[in-house]
Structure 1
Amino acid sequence: MANRSSINSTLLQVSELVLHFRTSKGIVQAVDGVNFTLNANEAVVIIGESGCGKSSLAKAILRLLPRNVHRYAGKTFLYGLDVMALSDEEFRRTIRWNRIAMVPQAAMNALNPVIRVGDQVAEPLMIHQGMKKAKALEKAVEMFRLVGVPEDFVYRYAFELSGGMRQRVALAMALVTSPDLIILDEPTSALDVLTQANIMNQLKRIKREMGMSFILITHDIATSSELADRVAVMYAGQIVEIGDAQRFFQEPLHPYAQKLMASVPRLRETKDPDFIVGQPPSLINPPAGCRFADRCHRRFERCAEEPPMVEQDGRLVKCWLYIEDGVNQRDADYSRRQD
């Protein structure tokens, strides 16, 4: 296992990742050419509206694929190892849960109602690392302490726990094998504000003390700011902006990201939250060109073409506004409208 203290080393590199599904209505392009990197001891937060492909991206990285997959392609490297080249059995045995684990949405649905939660947390150690049950249960108790669950809860069932405790148990299950990366899919979406804050504090402490790396998938921008080192914005199956979290929250670049940030209520401002007109496009037949163009307050003629991902002040953004000829054309279009 690579040294987690090497903060600048690239842990995960995702290149042109594609995941399309067959449905009765057509092919759903849930993940459509996604590229990003994640460093060791880093948290990347992926935000966007519901239905933009965030959860499908998590499933694509972990190869948790349903039967109706139409196309699954691209490259995923874990510390330089091309894990897409591994067979399903090799990936299950060496990568899934050993090196990349996941905390799914709705912990109640993720936990087995007829098996004690302690046994469920111990199970990955028994299956993936061949550990004896007694030793695995000792490790489960250790993980319960780490995430703030009372030790005697190992003997309880999921229905006996509160929503917050169930979410902590799901986190303990992901942590128990000491993976390099944990993917958190909306881990606080069904919880009250106080419980959300407690869980985010636990995640920050785990990241600091264990050198853990996270991908946090959420639509809750306020909560995501607590953990994020970098932010990736996803729209209609594509990442449209990615960069340093502090700069993103202060000054997002992509028009969609700007609208998202403008929709967040702020305590110290009297300005009403903004909103984004229209609806996200169908992923069965996404529009040509920029997929956000129909809802964009800054669109111009060039937006009929698909923009490339370009660098802007150390950040990456998929928008014609930040390409020189695009900027010139935008200004010319604006002048014509003023005349």
Structure 2
Amino acid sequence: MSLLEVEDLTISYKTTKGKFLAVKHLSFDIKKGEIISVIGESGSGKTTMAKALVRAIKPPANIDSGKVLLNGNNLLEISQNKFVHDFLWVKVSYVPQSSQNSLNPTQKIIEHFIDTGTSHGLRDKKEIEDRAVKLLQLVRLPKSILQSYPHQLSGGMKQRVLIALSLLFEPELIIMDEPVTALDIATQRHILNIIKELNEKNRTSIIFITHEINLAIYLATKLLVMYGGELMEFGDREKIEKNPLHPYTISLLSSVPKLFGDLSKIKPVTEGKINSKGCPFFYRCPNAMSICENNEPETYTIEGDKVRCFLYGANKA
């Protein structure tokens, strides 16, 4: 049984030129203990999708249709008060993009934990502090951090504080949007190892959003590839890494240098605009066919994995 099921999610932005679809008919699921890496270029809809999962979509954005089912509960239909009190932080946490700026500069770190804890029913401040200390230890930070202000911490330390805070109520699902962007390589690897530890010890499910393919592959059990607001490919990380199906996925993986690989085989992703009528990758696709220009491909199942591409139409699910 899936922990989270996203069904036919469509999100638009109201602009001066009309409606812009940022996420189109997106469907995927995550089971308990899985790590899904969501990859794609800037503007592919990754952050918009993440915000929708925790009801952080605000005008001019709007959720046009779809369902977000967490343990069978449609998060888009319950009241805002119920979602904030019963689900956010308790069952699902969100570490947003540029999360270092999410800490209040006027509050000490302990106050962030107390505010989050008391707003969700914890009244004993000593209990909250004890939980905070254990969580900071989990992300390898000392207790003394609690008395620090955010500006006194490095970027990597603030990132780990946010991860610790997201675990205050041991949620089943954590959504992390570019959690290691702008950090040095050593700090990136350290935080990724912490995320893996959390997943292995607590079977916490994680949605890890990134545009860095090597990080996505290192961390994930499954990959969700997005382009132009749409799912291009979704499935087992090892299978996709060894045998990517969608031309966009193939292009992404071909653009990444390997430590001992032949550098002459590296190919940058072909430049081009997004096609708004049919397959969004049409203008950049080396395998483009006439049908792709004005027709949207359905989602096909190939050996258990999902791909949206007319190349696989004969294998329609």
Same topology, TM > 0.5: yes
Q: Match of 1:278, as an amino acid?
A: E
Given that 1:241 and 1:316 are in contact with CA atoms closer than 8 Å, whether structure 2 keeps it comes out as yes
Q: CA deviation at 1:132?
A: 2.4
Q: CA deviation at 1:295?
A: 0.6
2:189 to 194, 197, 202: 197
Distance in 2, matches of 1:131 and 1:221, equals 43
**Where does 1:156-167 land on structure 2 (aligned, <5 Å)?**
156-167=148-159
Distance in 1, matches of 2:63 and 2:112, equals 33
- Structure-2 residue corresponding to 1:334: none
Given that 1:14 and 1:76 are in contact with CA atoms closer than 8 Å, whether structure 2 keeps it comes out as yes
1:30 to 22, 25, 29: 22
Q: Match of 1:309, as an amino acid?
A: T
Q: Does 1:84 align with 2:76?
A: yes
Given that 1:52 and 1:237 are in contact with CA atoms closer than 8 Å, whether structure 2 keeps it comes out as yes
Q: Does 1:276 align with 2:269?
A: yes
Count of matched residue positions in the alignment of Structure 1 and Structure 2: 314
Give the TM-score taking structure 1 as reference length. 0.89
Distance in 1, matches of 2:246 and 2:6, equals 21
Q: Match of 2:242, as an amino acid?
A: Q
- Structure-1 residue corresponding to 2:239: 247
Distance in 2, matches of 1:278 and 1:120, equals 44
Distance in 2, matches of 1:81 and 1:255, equals 35
For residues 131 and 280 of structure 1, do their structure 2 counterparts lie closer, same or farther at Cα, with a shift above 3 Å needed? farther
Deviation by residue 1:111-155 (Cα, 9 ceiling, x = unmatched): 111101122133221111333222212211111011111110010
SS in 1 for 2:119: helix
2:61 to 56, 69, 73: 69
1:300 to 281, 289, 307: 289
SS in 2 for 1:85: coil
Given that 2:273 and 2:283 are in contact with CA atoms closer than 8 Å, whether structure 1 keeps it comes out as no
Deviation by residue 1:295-327 (Cα, 9 ceiling, x = unmatched): 10111122121110000122110000011299x
Q: CA deviation at 1:280?
A: 4.6
Given that 1:121 and 1:172 are in contact with CA atoms closer than 8 Å, whether structure 2 keeps it comes out as no
Larger radius of gyration: 1
Q: Match of 1:14, as an amino acid?
A: V
Where structure 1 has 5 or more consecutive residues not aligned to the other structure, the ranges are: 1-8, 327-339
2:314 to 320, 324, 333: 324
1:146 to 132, 138, 151: 138
For residues 279 and 167 of structure 1, do their structure 2 counterparts lie closer, same or farther at Cα, with a shift above 3 Å needed? farther
Q: CA deviation at 1:107?
A: 2.7
Distance in 1, matches of 2:88 and 2:40, equals 25
Q: Match of 2:124, as an amino acid?
A: K
SS in 1 for 2:22: strand
Where structure 2 has 5 or more consecutive residues not aligned to the other structure, the ranges are: none
SS in 1 for 2:257: coil
Given that 1:122 and 1:139 are in contact with CA atoms closer than 8 Å, whether structure 2 keeps it comes out as no
1:313 to 303, 310, 317: 303
**Where does 1:208-223 land on structure 2 (aligned, <5 Å)?**
208-223=200-215
- Structure-2 residue corresponding to 1:330: none
For residues 302 and 87 of structure 1, do their structure 2 counterparts lie closer, same or farther at Cα, with a shift above 3 Å needed? same
Q: Match of 2:108, as an amino acid?
A: R
Given that 1:262 and 1:275 are in contact with CA atoms closer than 8 Å, whether structure 2 keeps it comes out as yes
SS in 2 for 1:139: helix
Q: Match of 2:291, as an amino acid?
A: R
Does 114-123 or 40-49 show the bigger shift? Answer: 114-123
Q: CA deviation at 1:239?
A: 0.8
Distance in 1, matches of 2:17 and 2:161, equals 38
SS in 1 for 2:218: coil
1:233 to 225, 234, 239: 225
Distance in 1, matches of 2:61 and 2:224, equals 25
Given that 2:172 and 2:205 are in contact with CA atoms closer than 8 Å, whether structure 1 keeps it comes out as yes
CA RMSD of aligned residues (A): 1.5
Q: CA deviation at 1:247?
A: 0.9
Distance in 2, matches of 1:61 and 1:101, equals 10
- Structure-2 residue corresponding to 1:287: 276
Deviation by residue 1:268-293 (Cα, 9 ceiling, x = unmatched): 11233211222452xxxx52111101
Distance in 2, matches of 1:218 and 1:45, equals 7
Q: CA deviation at 1:71?
A: 4.0
Give the TM-score taking structure 2 as reference length. 0.95
Q: Does 1:125 align with 2:117?
A: yes
Q: Match of 1:201, as an amino acid?
A: N
